Amino acid sequence: MPNFTRRGLLTAAALLAASTLPALAQTKDPMTRLFKIITVKDEVVIGLSADDLSALGGNDAGAVAKALAAKGSLTVWQYATRKGQNGDLEQAPRMKIGLMANDSLRVEPYTTPLKVIAHE
């Protein structure tokens, strides 16, 4: 039978908890998914509702990239970290922005351990 120390078990539990945070981040608000738009100049985090994603024809980064390439531009909500009313940090809509298609643009899923606030 293996000999587990208390310290070893605590370390294993901490590593397991830390590794599951990104996976849980998108399920805090299943109605809003976050994506990072990366260009040669900057990066921006956007949030899309389930309705937004179905209008784009999918629910992943590839669907967002294809829609942007096909339409040439999209109007989306930019998301940023802020303090909530209770003092906890959260990802919340900041403002509506326009995205324009670019040859050197990349779309990635964005995960956060923070609560994600749905946009209007």
pLDDT 10s digits, 20-64? 334 434 444 458 999 999 998 899 999 999 999 999 999 999 999
Binning pLDDT at 50, 70 and 90, where does residue 7 land? Answer: very low
2 belongs to a structural domain:
no
Predicted local confidence at residue 99, as pLDDT: 94
Q: Which of 113, 40, 53, 48 is nearest to 79 (CA)?
A: 48
**pLDDT tens, residue by residue, 77-99:** 999 999 999 999 999 999 999 99
DSSP state string for 23-84: HHHTTSSTTEEEEEEE-SS-EEEEEEEHHHHHHHT-SSHHHHHHHHHHHSEEEEEEEEEEE-
Asked if residue 5 has pLDDT above 60, the reply is no
Beta-strand relationship, 106-109 and 73-83: unpaired
The boundaries of the domain holding residue 37 are 21-116
9 belongs to a structural domain:
no
The two structure tokens encoding residue 76: 């989306």
106 belongs to a structural domain:
yes
Compute how many other C-beta atoms are within 10 angstroms of the C-beta atom of residue 67: 20
14 belongs to a structural domain:
no
Asked if residue 66 has pLDDT above 60, the reply is yes
- Total structural domains within the chain: 1
70 belongs to a structural domain:
yes
d(Cα 31, Cα 6) in Å, to the nearest integer? 40
6 belongs to a structural domain:
no
85 belongs to a structural domain:
yes
Distance, C-alpha 87 to centroid of its chain: 21
47 belongs to a structural domain:
yes
